[in-house]
Structures are given as structure tokens and as C-alpha cells.
Homo-oligomer: A and B are copies of this chain.
């Protein structure tokens, strides 16, 4: 019905002296993130989002054609922010270095921790389970777009390691991190820097190319 409300045509809008984050569209997305992260898509009413954003309900509908469009745009936007946080400006991987993989992981872990700390709602929102039902094809593609670079990096770094396949390791790693954050949010543990570090070390043991000794005697 209403075709407007994509992404592209609004990016040009800035250009004032300061970056002044006032774009109403942005404000609505931020509010929607807070609300959806808190109570889920179905548990949140559109007027609640509007009020949280400090705009009228009608205004929200000028920027997003429907609640479903809103949540999809929000999902892609948030996923993209995660992607940026994890990948943008990452130091290049120098395969020549012996500990290239460990360096790479260390950096990834650092960034994951920063993202979870800086944007807890984004993290929580992205991890909601019941997404699938209302996400459209485009959103589901974006999902993959975040993982692919990790997967590629993993591929390049593992070299000839024979342990678990990269997709399994990514799933485990990502899941482990999510579990850590979730446990922290639910109060099952208190996540300070030290524990985050411990967790990182543990995860590294999980995905490390091989017991770190070149020759493995696993199957033979």
C-alpha cells in the first residue's frame, strides 16, 4: 500500500552544521527498539512506541507504513548496527602471524562486549525468538549478511584444522555470548570485566584451531 518509508531517501537529510540526531525517523526507531526489546513485538502497542518517541501516533505512521514495516525496518537497522560494531574498521587479519586467529577472536570478543554494553536493547531485541513470524524476506537476508563475514574470516583462519566446522563454531560462539549476556540480564551472574575476560578465554578454547599444538591425536 504505502511504499514510502524505506531507508535510502532519508539518509541525505542531514547536512546541518552538527550531526544533531533529531531525525524523527531515528527517534522513532530508537523508541521502538526500547519498547520492543522490553515487551516484544506483540506485547507492545503502537501508541506506546509513539509516546516513547515523543511524537503523535499519526506521525509514526507517516514514517512507517505499519507496525510490521516498523519492526522490519528496525530489525534491519539494528542488525546493521551490530554488523558495524563487529566489523567496521576491524584491523586486517595478517595470516602470516602465528596468532592471527587469536588476535582476530580477541578483537571480535572485545567488540561483542562493547556492543552488548553500549546497546543492551539492541542486543536483546535481536535475540528475541518469535521474530521469524513477522520478518519479511529482506530482513531474513540481512540476518545472514552479518554472519557471512564471520564465517569467511573463520574459514580463512582455521586453515586445515579439522575440528568442528565453521558454521557450528559460529553458532556455538554466538550462542555462548548470548547466553552470557542473558544470564547477566536475568541476574544469574554479574558480568564485570573480569568475568567477560574469563568467558572470552573459555570461548577461545572452544573455537581455537586446535589444542594449539600443531599435531593432533584426536582420531588417530
Write the residues of chain A forming the contact surface with B, with a CB cutoff of 8 angstroms.
Answer: 38-43, 124, 127-130, 132-133, 143-144, 147, 163-165, 167-180, 182-184, 186, 188-189, 195, 198-199, 201-203, 205-208, 211, 213-214, 216-220
Contact = CB atoms under 8 A, between A and B. Distances in A.
Nearest to A184: B171
A198 B169 CA distance: 9
B167 A201 contact: no
Contact of A132 (B147, B177, B186): B186
Contacts of A208: 205
Contact of A168 (B143, B171, B202, B214): B202
A40 B38 contact: no
Q: Of A178, A195, A208, A218, which is in contact with the most chain B CB atoms at under 10 Å from its CB?
A: A178
A199 B172 contact: yes
B188 A180 contact: no
Nearest to A43: B42
Nearest to A177: B175
B189 A180 contact: no
Contact of A147 (B127, B164, B167, B188): B188
A163 B203 CA distance: 11
27 contacts: A41-B42, A128-B128, A143-B186, A163-B202, A164-B202, A165-B195, A165-B198, A167-B183, A167-B189, A168-B195, A171-B176, A171-B184, A171-B189, A172-B179, A172-B203, A173-B176, A173-B179, A174-B183, A175-B176, A175-B178, A175-B182, A176-B206, A179-B179, A202-B206, A205-B208, A211-B211, A217-B219
A188 B202 contact: no
B129 A198 contact: no
Contacts of A183: 167, 170-171, 174-175
A7 B40 CA distance: 29
